Amino acid sequence: MSEPLTSEVIAELREMHKIARKLRGPMALDDPRRTASIEFTAALQALVEQGVSVYRLAKVLGIGHSSVYARLARHGYRQPSPSRAAQAYRHTTTADAIRAKNAG
């Protein structure tokens, strides 16, 4: 089996990452930055499915592995980490939590 992470693939991922990391906020569906972001994330997922570790991808790109996990989760390829899921409840007070627990 050949190595899925060749120097050409690495160079292409780095170029895609330069564009994809600039995507912030709402953007038109046909915007090239959005397309690059979607393609970049799909390429990361394809490499993960081929057996390349998220840690190795992160190291090659010069970013943290949590950034790769977050990107994959944001695009629907993985479940968000428990700490990210808990952010939905960040503004809930303790009293609200107790009431919800007693009601359920």
| 34: confidence class by pLDDT, cuts 50, 70, 90 | confident
Contact indicator for 54, 69 with CB cutoff of 8 Å: yes
Q: What is the pLDDT of residue 83?
A: 65
Helix (H, G, I), strand (E, B) or coil at 6: coil
Residue 91 has pLDDT above 60, yes or no: no
Contact indicator for 44, 17 with CB cutoff of 8 Å: no
Contact indicator for 65, 44 with CB cutoff of 8 Å: no
pTM: 0.72
For residue 38, give every residue at least 6 positions away whose Cβ sits within 8 Å of its Cβ, in sequence order, or none.
Answer: 75
Q: What is the pLDDT of residue 13?
A: 93
pLDDT in tens, 57-75: 999 999 999 999 989 988 8
